Amino acid sequence: MLAVLAALCGALSNALATVLQHRAAATVPGFDGFRLRLLLDLARRPVWVAGIVAVTAAALLQAVALARGALSVVQPVFVLELPFALLIASAMARRNLPARSWAAVGCLVAGLGLALGASSPSAGTTHVPMERWIPALAGCGAAIAVLCAVALRRPPGGVRAGCLAGAAAIGNAVTAALIKSSTHLLDAHGVGAFLTAWQTYAFAVAGVGSLYLLENALQSGPLVASQPALTLGDAAVSLTLGVLLYEERLRGGVWLVPALLGVALVAAGAVALARTPLTRTLMSPTD
Q: Would residue 77 be called left, alpha or beta, if left means φ above 0 and alpha means ψ between -120 and 50 degrees?
A: alpha
Helical spans, DSSP H, in the chain = 2-25, 38-43, 46-68, 71-77, 81-93, 99-119, 130-152, 158-189, 191-196, 198-220, 223-246, 256-275, 277-282
**Closest of 61, 48, 15 to residue 176, by C-alpha:** 61
Residue 264 counted as domain residue = yes
Q: Which pTM value belongs to this model?
A: 0.80
CA 173/CA 276 separation, integer angstroms = 27
Phi, psi (deg, nearest 5) at residue 122:
-115, 150
Q: Give the per-residue pLDDT at 226.
A: 78
Residue 215 counted as domain residue = yes
Segment 180-235, tens digit of pLDDT: 999 989 888 899 999 999 999 999 999 989 988 987 887 787 766 777 788 788 88
40 vs 254, more confident: 254
CA 20, chain centre distance (Å): 15
Residue 67 counted as domain residue = yes
Residues pairing with 249 in the sheet: 122
Q: Note down the domain range covering 221.
A: 2-282
Residue 139 counted as domain residue = yes
Asked if the model's pLDDT at residue 284 lies above 70, the reply is: no
Asked if the model's pLDDT at residue 285 lies above 50, the reply is: no
Q: Give the per-residue pLDDT at 283.
A: 55
Q: Give the per-residue pLDDT at 155.
A: 86
Q: In the chain, what percentage of residues exceed pLDDT 90? A: 36
Of 12-21, 85-94, 164-173, 217-226, the range with the lowest mean pLDDT is 217-226
Residue 171 counted as domain residue = yes
CA 285/CA 22 separation, integer angstroms = 8
Segment 80-103, tens digit of pLDDT: 888 888 888 888 878 787 888 889
268 within 8 A of 111, measured Cβ to Cβ: yes
Q: Give the per-residue pLDDT at 287.
A: 42
**Tally of structural domains, the chain:** 1
Residue 287 counted as domain residue = no
Segment 93-135, tens digit of pLDDT: 787 878 888 898 999 999 999 999 998 888 788 889 999 999 9
**Closest of 266, 260, 186, 258 to residue 234, by C-alpha:** 266
Residue 85 counted as domain residue = yes
Residue 108 counted as domain residue = yes
DSSP per-residue codes, 184-222? HHHHHH-HHHHHH-HHHHHHHHHHHHHHHHHHHHHHHS-
Segment 44-75, tens digit of pLDDT: 778 778 888 888 898 889 888 988 888 888 88
Calculate the alpha carbon distances from 69 to 19, 51, 73, 109, 122 in Å.
27, 26, 7, 20, 9
Segment 232-260, tens digit of pLDDT: 888 889 989 999 999 998 888 899 999 99
Calculate the alpha carbon distances from 108 to 37, 80, 83 in Å.
36, 8, 8
Asked if the model's pLDDT at residue 37 lies above 80, the reply is: no
User: Cβ neighbours of residue 53 under 8 Å, at least 6 residues apart?
Assistant: none
The mean pLDDT of the chain is: 84
Asked if the model's pLDDT at residue 286 lies above 60, the reply is: no
